[in-house]
Amino acid sequence: MPKTRSVFICSVCGQEHPKWNGRCNACGSWNTLEEAVVEKRTGNASAPKATLTMSKISGVDFPDETRYKTGMSELDRVLGGGLVKGSLVLLGGDPGIGKSTLLLQICSSLASGRTVLYVSGEESERQIKLRADRLGVDAEGLYISSCTDCDAVCEAMRSEKPDVVIIDSIQTMALTDIQSAPGSLVQVRECTGAFMRAAKALDISVFLVGHVNKDGGIAGPKVLEHIVDTVLYFEGDKQLSYRILRAAKNRFGSTNEIGVFEMRDKGLSEVTNPSAMLLSGRPAGISGITILCAMEGSRPIMAEVQALVAKTGFAAPRRVSAGFDYNRLCVLLAVLEKRTGYSFGGYDVYINIIGGLKIDEPASDLAVALALYSGLCDKVIGEDIAVFGEIGLGGELRAVSHIRQRVREAARMGFDKCIVPKSSLKELDKSEDYGIAIYGAANLKQAFKVLEAVAGEKKE
Ligand code: TYD
Ligand code: MG
């Protein structure tokens, strides 16, 4: 019998400790150490010496990576152009957000001409079948199984050699020779390792579903993210129907891309024109609303910024922000006060980006600042105006990236005017007709003037 010993692993950062502690020395989290039993490593003098093989980088031959199309172009784009053969993809998200639905839906296309094994530790085969029927999934090469034994799944991968394996979810899988309960840190880590080895050795693509813990990370340590090739997060407000898929890590593509889906009664459908979706239902004639063109990866997306500026009843006015960085909001308020003379001291300020969208690029500054200005002065900003620009601490507008794509997207979505930083104008092609009037502003005050001028035009 091999000798065993106990170690304590932090469930947040994965640091191993020889003794239990109330607090993790590495990341400082409290009460996160879990006990794990590991085999003692014993030195064996008679074992053959390990050798390292080296290759010259120019001499390494590689076949073109094979990518499977999932039948959902939104997912393919986030993956970097399709599911890479032999890769391990972790899909995280809150319970009920649609992870199982998404993965079952892509089986339709993945399993035509290939074999796909869908293993669920959460649902019975009948339940999977019922769901598949509802989603209209019926492919020749799709096999389902209800199982929680990690070894059994790896054995099936070896003997049946499916092209794709879907594990729903990693928290339900367990290795029988590890004593911890399924979902515990050690089980999750060891099972992921086992799937990784099987995926690489057999060249099988594996999707792992991972539940998200209360802090928003995938339950289990960060180490999980180090093991796998790609980490995707499925986000969205459960009350709203749309869902956004983001890559947090991708060894085979960019992490800037997002995929947008809508949950319908027949499963998830792709939203290929998210701007139209996000702009629908926009109220007219209300102050405090601006439209921004944000870049999500290589894709421009129009988003609506709403600001509510209301007289405060508190000693310290409230600043609340949803979808926009709170500290950035405070900076913008300070810049507005200092550089343009508008005072928000006696007002509560609420910022909301519609659609549950999270915007974290500097180009959104101008839209937020103008929404605040509009809300404070109760001046309505025309519905046909889009704005983008970064604001410096001096109140100046700084150039933004991808100006051409943003302007084109605004024109495509039917906007007539856009306000951009003056310094971005030179990047616009003089010869191209963008089909939209472009106004350059050097600072916030000039942007206000442009707003007034275009509002005057409208009245005539
Ligand atoms: P599910 O994929 O089971 O979530 P997860 O695997 O991430 O926990 O999604 C469940 C939710 O999706 C459930 O609240 C109902 C909704 N749903 C639909 O609206 N339409 C559908 O066709 C399906 C299958 C689910
Ligand atoms: Mg599920």
pLDDT tens for each residue of the chain, 460 residues long = 567 778 888 877 778 888 998 998 888 888 888 887 776 656 666 667 788 888 888 888 777 778 999 999 999 999 999 999 999 999 988 888 999 999 999 999 999 889 999 999 999 999 999 999 999 998 889 999 999 999 999 999 999 999 999 999 898 999 998 888 888 888 888 899 999 999 999 999 999 998 876 665 655 556 678 889 999 988 877 777 788 898 888 999 887 778 889 998 889 999 888 778 778 878 888 999 999 998 877 778 889 999 999 999 988 999 999 999 999 999 999 999 999 999 999 999 999 998 778 888 999 999 999 999 999 999 999 888 999 999 999 999 999 999 998 998 898 888 999 999 999 999 888 888 888 999 999 999 999 999 999 877 754 4
Ligand 2 centroid–CA 248 distance in Å is 20
Determine the 3-state secondary structure of 362 from DSSP. helix
Q: Determine which residue's CA is closest to atom 14 belonging to ligand 1.
A: 96
Quick one: which atom of ligand 1 is closest to the CA of 99? 7
Q: What pLDDT is attached to residue 42?
A: 61
Q: Give the span between the Cα atoms of 401 and 350, in whole angstroms.
A: 27
Hey, how many other C-beta atoms are within 10 angstroms of the C-beta on 358? 16
Between the alpha carbon of residue 46 and those of residues 2, 4, 43, 53, 66, the distances in Å are 17, 22, 9, 21, 42
Give, in degrees to the nearest 5, the angle at Cα 352 between 350 and 357. 155
Predicted TM-score (pTM) of this structure: 0.75
Hey, how many other C-beta atoms are within 10 angstroms of the C-beta on 192? 26
97 close to ligand 1 (CB < 6 Angstrom): yes
Q: What pLDDT is attached to residue 31?
A: 87
Contacts of 34 (CB under 8 A, 6+ apart): 8, 9, 10, 11, 180, 184, 185, 186
100 close to ligand 1 (CB < 6 Angstrom): yes
Tokens 């089909």, located at residue: 435
134 close to ligand 1 (CB < 6 Angstrom): yes
- Probe residue for ligand 1, chosen from 90, 263, 269 as the CB with the greatest number of ligand atoms within 8 Å: 263
210 close to ligand 1 (CB < 6 Angstrom): no
Secondary structure of 378-442 in the HEC alphabet? CCCCCCCEEECCEECCCCEEECCCCHHHHHHHHHHCCCCEEEEEHHHHHHCCCCCCCCCEEEEEC
Ligand whose nearest atom lies closest to the CA of 168: 2
